[in-house]
Amino acid sequence: MSRRRKGRTGGIGRRFLAPVLCCALLAGLLCGCGQTEIPSATRDIFAMDTYMTLTCYGEHAEEALARAVEEIHRLDDLLSTGKADSEVSRLNAEGGGPVSLQTQTMIEEALRVYRRTEGAFDITVYPLMELWGFTGDSPAVPDEEALRTCLEKVGADRLKLSGDMLTMGEGQAIDLGAIAKGYTSARLMQIFGEYELTSAIVSLGGNVQCFGTKPDGSLWRCGIREPEGDGYFGVVQAADKAVITSGGYERFFEEAGQTYHHILDPRTGQPARAGLISATVVSENGMLADALSTACYVMGLEDSADYWREYGAEQGGTFELILMTEDEEVWITEGLKEAFTTECPLHVITAEGVE
Ligand code: ADP
Ligand code: MG
């Protein structure tokens, strides 16, 4: 199986180094940190099955960084389906039970996005992920009968969350993989606030969230990765934002000349093919941006644009989109007109239609 930024298997050298280096370049070169006296600290780690880079600026940069790394590992231990003793694994083994506040927060958000996307985003997708073998190292196309049976287990409408008590339907299992890294980067921003950092930027497997501006007061420049190739197809300038991308290129395998990737349409059980090759969400809310980047990838251009028109300006949950279609044209929502630059053909989604 190919993993662009995932590392459990070998062969990640170049694919891993490119984004990490670029992130370091973006964080270092573009921040003008050579001209400032502000203490800084940076670290690369491997957690949540991906490579991460964290860079902090402020009097307490080192302490904030240490606390952030500790928090990432704590959340990884809580949320990983790959760890038998994680909270999520316990919930899956026992068909539910009491959940921690963090897990409760993520499930509540996931259920909201599930309802609003009419099931395009669905954390009960886990049995399908297992059936396709995406949870292990030898994925393969399942047979139709097995897929049909498995699909019966999928449907977040059968999850019941009352307070901190979760119950699941027969045979159901959850996977917070589409929301966990965004939740984590949002948590890191809280920590950075507590340590009174002046600036910070984290890249959790390519999911970027920035705290404040660059140390020199200018905006961060976040590159959006090319689905094919190691470069970037556009740049967003941002402060205090998460910039989170989903794409089938992140993790996939080939069988009989066909490519199959890890973002599934929970309604068909097949890898989502709605005409997008990359979906990015820009928002102050990292958890929302992560859930929506996956949801938009599954929904495709038209439904994502409608979703933005309906919910994009909601209080506490404003977001903007950068979508790339299979023909490598880019569609952004109106709010990014000034902040986003690309050399690709560009269209602007507005409240009324398309510009
Ligand atoms: P990545 O984790 O690769 O950055 P995403 O945020 O898009 O990308 O999350 C993909 C993960 O989400 C998959 O590995 C799987 O665990 C889970 N997933 C796949 N399809 C869906 C879906 N339709 N709804 C919710 N979760 C999904
Ligand atoms: Mg996601």
- Inform me whether the pLDDT recorded for 5 exceeds 80: no
pLDDT grade for 35, boundaries at 50, 70 and 90: low
Atom of ligand 1 nearest to the CA of 266: 23
pLDDT at 22: 46
Query: Between 34 and 163, whose confidence is greater?
Result: 163
Question: Minimum-distance ligand to the CA of 114?
Answer: 1
Query: Between 212 and 316, whose confidence is greater?
Result: 212
Locate the domains of the chain by residue range: 82-175
What's the rounded Cα separation, in Å, for the pair 253 and 4? 11
Q: For a substitution probing ligand 1, which of 75, 125, 174, 251 has the most ligand atoms within 8 Å of its CB?
A: 125
Dist. CA 31 → ligand 1 center (Å)? 31
Q: How many CB atoms lie within 10 A of CB 194?
A: 11
- Inform me whether the pLDDT recorded for 185 exceeds 50: yes
What's the rounded Cα separation, in Å, for the pair 299 and 292? 10
pLDDT at 28: 44
Atom of ligand 1 nearest to the CA of 290: 6
Task: Identify the residue whose C-alpha is closest to ligand 1 atom 10.
Answer: 178
Beta bridge partners of 92: none
Q: Which own/partner contact pairs does 60-65 have at CB distance under 8 Å and 24+ positions apart?
A: 60/195, 60/196, 60/197, 61/195, 61/197, 63/195, 64/191, 64/192, 64/194, 64/195, 64/197, 64/200, 65/41
82-175, CATH topology level: T-fold (1.10.3980)
Among the listed residues 237, 232, 203, the one whose alpha carbon sits nearest the alpha carbon of residue 217: 237
- Inform me whether the pLDDT recorded for 32 exceeds 90: no
- Inform me whether the pLDDT recorded for 23 exceeds 60: no
Query: Between 99 and 33, whose confidence is greater?
Result: 99
Pocket of ligand 1 (CB under 6 A): 121-123, 125, 129, 175, 177-178, 205, 246, 250-251, 262-264, 266, 290, 293-294, 298
pLDDT at 354: 85
pLDDT at 29: 46
pLDDT grade for 240, boundaries at 50, 70 and 90: very high
pLDDT grade for 7, boundaries at 50, 70 and 90: very low
pLDDT at 305: 98
Tell me if residue 74 falls in helix, strand or coil.
helix
Q: How many CB atoms lie within 10 A of CB 113?
A: 24
Q: Which residues surround ligand 2, an ion (CB under 5 A)?
A: 178, 290, 293-294
pLDDT grade for 31, boundaries at 50, 70 and 90: very low
In percent, how much of the chain has pLDDT > 90?
87
- Inform me whether the pLDDT recorded for 25 exceeds 80: no
pLDDT grade for 337, boundaries at 50, 70 and 90: very high
Q: For a substitution probing ligand 1, which of 126, 154, 175 has the most ligand atoms within 8 Å of its CB?
A: 175
Q: For a substitution probing ligand 1, which of 126, 135, 262 has the most ligand atoms within 8 Å of its CB?
A: 262
Dist. CA 295 → ligand 1 center (Å)? 9
Question: Minimum-distance ligand to the CA of 110?
Answer: 1
Give residue-wise pLDDT tens across range 73-118: 999 999 999 999 999 999 999 999 999 999 999 999 999 999 999 9
Q: Which two tokens stand for residue 108?
A: 């509540």
- Inform me whether the pLDDT recorded for 251 exceeds 50: yes
